[in-house]
Structure 1
Amino acid sequence: MKVLMLGWEIPPHNSGGLGVACYQLCQSLSANNVDIEFILPYEANHNIDFMKLTAAVARPINEVDLSQQAYDSSRYSVTREGLNSQSFDYFDEYTMGVQSVVSSTEFDIIHAHDWLTFRAAIAAKQQSGKPLIVHVHATEFDRSGGNHGNSVVEEIEYFGMMIADRIIAVSQLTKEVIMKHYNIPADKIDVIHNSIDPEYYQSVSPGNDYHYIQKLKENGYSVVTNAGRHTIQKGLHNFLLAAKEVIFRAPKTIFLLVGAGDQYYELIEHAAGLGISKNVIFADFQRGKRLHDAFEISDLFVMPSVSEPFGLVPLEAIHFGTPTLVTKQSGVAEILHNALKVDYWDVGNMANQITAVIQSNNLGSTLLSAQQEDMRRSSWSSAAKNIVGIYESSVRSV
């Protein structure tokens, strides 16, 4: 089975969980005898031997925006003059590059990840006549925090899902969003949860880079961490409201926020307005060892998202030995049966559960053991086998 796969990023040149998920999924697909050619919007060295990487655009990595803002759909705006051409020109370049690959490559099926690749995926399907699988890791409904988002992006998502032969949703939550907000029939959508590959997360070197936080812990402080994009989707304003309540009850608590985004400075001001700045550390975007060290130094990881299609980061936190609290409005809650869970809007309950963990001698370790068992029941190998089944049935149906 030869797959033409379209994606926007692959580690180490990635800004978040989408690239990590693509990498680990492709590795498992390759182990299931799937031959993958992964089409990227840039040229770079990835040192990957389990699939072929092809640049659709002859542009070096340093000229491409792979920051967390690359996924901010508000950048792709409509003005009185029409589309923001600077933003969409690059999509056109990517699409033309993909079409060039299609004209010179033999393959059985197209697999496209998220809306950034959907225009190119539609063109590839129309050009080749091959079946198209679109993999929905997030929707504009999620990115806008459950509100009306960018209508142009919504339209791209809608046409991508309508034209696709099959849709893979990363959670039942995402499937329901696709059905309700995009009017896609349920029988066209398969739910396949994300996972993590423990071998991917090998520490580069021993020791923890957060020496100042380590000193605080030695002086009796607890550490509660969040890592992710600082956007309306992630629910960080409510997280800081909960932090204020926790700090009132347990003053020796530090809240560590790792990430960047359009709300970064707004959140710093929010923490100051709440009077909790001395207990909140904004560590900006981190990757690799510094991100892993943030997990390892924490007593609890919190994902307070308003609408989270899946949420890979809690699984990473558990892998590095930190129990998690997630919102009920997240896909990962479907597989983490033993995670603490709250509604994103229930600040009081969020504060209560955080306080319970940091003030208990053994609740955190008990939760961690149970959550690690939840993770063992989920694997990329199982996900890959299910996706191969979708490939085979789609090819037979053509």
Structure 2
Amino acid sequence: MKILMLGWELPPHNSGGLGVACYQMSRALADCGVDIDFVVPYSAEHPNIDFMNVHAATHLEASKDGFGAYDDLGTSDKQAHDCGLGGMRAVQRRYNCFVKEFVKQNPPDAIHAHDWLTMEAGIIAKQQCNAPLIVHVHATEFDRSGENEGNPLVHEIEQQGLLMADRIIAVSHITKDIIVKNYHIPPEKIEVVYNAIDLDELPPHEYDQGTYQYLEDLKKEGYIIVGALTRLTVQKGLTYLIRAVAQAIKQHQKIALLLSGSGEQRDELVALAAHLGISDKVVFTGFVRGRQWRDAYHLIDVFVMSSVSEPFGLTALEAAHHDTALLISRQSGVGEVLHDILRFDYWDTNKLARQIVMLARSPALLEILKEDVKTEYAQLSWHDAAEHCLKLYKQAQSKGGGA
């Protein structure tokens, strides 16, 4: 089976979990014998990808932390201006034109489009080659905007893409419910396919205590390290996390917070930590990859996902693999597959603070949570997810989805 995969990023040129999920899903599909053409909006080398064909829709160079997969529509990219493209919408138009011409010469059996950034291209490809369109929703604009209304143009694109899709894949039941409620899509059109973790991509790692020396020194003094590896955006609920940590520190002094990631909310979060008087116990690392990324997970004792709306949350699985206890907001989809965790509503800073203090004061409970969640995350499989997708492709074909 030949699949046209439409995505906005792939490792190592990704800004978040979207690229990781696309990479892992595609690799698992290739292992099932699927022939994949994957289109990205930038030009770059992907040295670890030999299982599919990666096509560049433009000559723009990918930045080290991705190619604006989460940029606002109002922002402009310097490279795009240099190439006469303008901002995000101009890049999308160029992407759409490339896809339209590509399918003329390379008609697929099915089209698999990831998130709003590629939904328009998916519709164009469907109209051009009459193949069924599968839209994969990793996040909606309702998720990305957190407690805000979001961008109306993105809502419009999502509505059109979801209506035109022959089948829809949601990464959790939380996401499926959002699609049904806010976009009025029939629930039988939507299939939930959970993300997973590939342990082959996380080989044994020799932790370097010198990477985060300040926090290591605090651990030697008996501190517990709370942390998150995430984008610093309103969706992730990090203001609530910092406020909860500040409350926890009032009850138990030996708590510190590590925040690894980049995003438009960074300066606001730094200022909030200063305002709450905990700047000496909050460390911002910026965007990390490779050894620094693995070392951050190894350092953390308690991983917190405080998202206002998190369709899934791959980082929770990565944290579990690195011997970390998990505190997950009830608004996060990963809580549908992990149960040996502590839950809280993202806005309930009092409860989150109590949970952090409880783990800081109970090393035994901390170890129990670390061990038990390992058994759960290891049962998730990208192979199972790929088999599920393959079944959907065939169902869409047999029903004449592209007709």
2:310–2:331 CA contact under 8 A, matched in 1: yes
Aligned equivalent of 2:247, options 245, 248, 255: 245
Structure 1 residue runs of 5 or longer lacking an equivalent are 78-83
Amino acid at match of 1:117: T
- Per the normalisation by structure 2, the TM-score is 0.93
How many Å separate the matches in 1 of 2:205 and 2:321?
15
What's the CA shift for 1:147? 3.4
2:57–2:99 CA contact under 8 A, matched in 1: yes
- Look up the match of 1:326: 328
Amino acid at match of 2:221: N
Q: State the secondary structure of the residue aligned to 2:13.
A: coil
2:207–2:295 CA contact under 8 A, matched in 1: no
What's the CA shift for 1:76? 6.3
How many Å separate the matches in 2 of 1:390 and 1:370?
33
Instruction: Map residues 2-13 of structure 1 onto 2, 5 A cutoff.
Output: 2-13=2-13
How many Å separate the matches in 1 of 2:73 and 2:328?
26
- Look up the match of 2:231: 229
What's the CA shift for 1:285? 1.2
Is residue 135 of structure 2 the alignment partner of residue 127 of structure 1? no
Amino acid at match of 1:182: Y
Q: State the secondary structure of the residue aligned to 1:54.
A: strand
What's the CA shift for 1:58? 2.9
- Look up the match of 2:366: 364
1:138/1:76 Cα in 2 relative to 1: closer, same or farther (>3 Å)? farther
Is residue 23 of structure 2 the alignment partner of residue 23 of structure 1? yes
Cα RMSD of the aligned pairs, angstroms, is: 1.7
2:73–2:87 CA contact under 8 A, matched in 1: no
Amino acid at match of 2:50: D
* Count of aligned pairs: 390
Cα deviations by residue, 1:108-160 (Å, 9 ceiling, x for unpaired): 00001111111111111111110000000000001111431100001011101
Fraction of identical pairs, as percent: 46
- Look up the match of 1:104: 105
Instruction: Map residues 249-264 of structure 1 onto 2, 5 A cutoff.
Output: 249-264=251-266
Q: State the secondary structure of the residue aligned to 2:217.
A: helix
Instruction: Map residues 80-119 of structure 1 onto 2, 5 A cutoff.
Output: 86-119=87-120
What's the CA shift for 1:86? 2.8
How many Å separate the matches in 2 of 1:371 and 1:74?
38
- Look up the match of 1:56: 57
Q: State the secondary structure of the residue aligned to 1:102.
A: helix
What's the CA shift for 1:31? 1.1
Amino acid at match of 1:252: K
Instruction: Map residues 1-398 of structure 1 onto 2, 5 A cutoff.
Output: 1-47=1-47, 48-62=49-63, 66=66, 70-73=69-72, 75=74, 86-202=87-203, 206-208=207-209, 209-398=211-400
What's the CA shift for 1:65? 7.9
Q: State the secondary structure of the residue aligned to 1:213.
A: helix
Q: State the secondary structure of the residue aligned to 1:75.
A: coil
- Look up the match of 2:79: none
1:73–1:153 CA contact under 8 A, matched in 2: no
Amino acid at match of 1:16: G
How many Å separate the matches in 2 of 1:142 and 1:43?
29
What's the CA shift for 1:60? 3.1
How many Å separate the matches in 1 of 2:202 and 2:74?
32
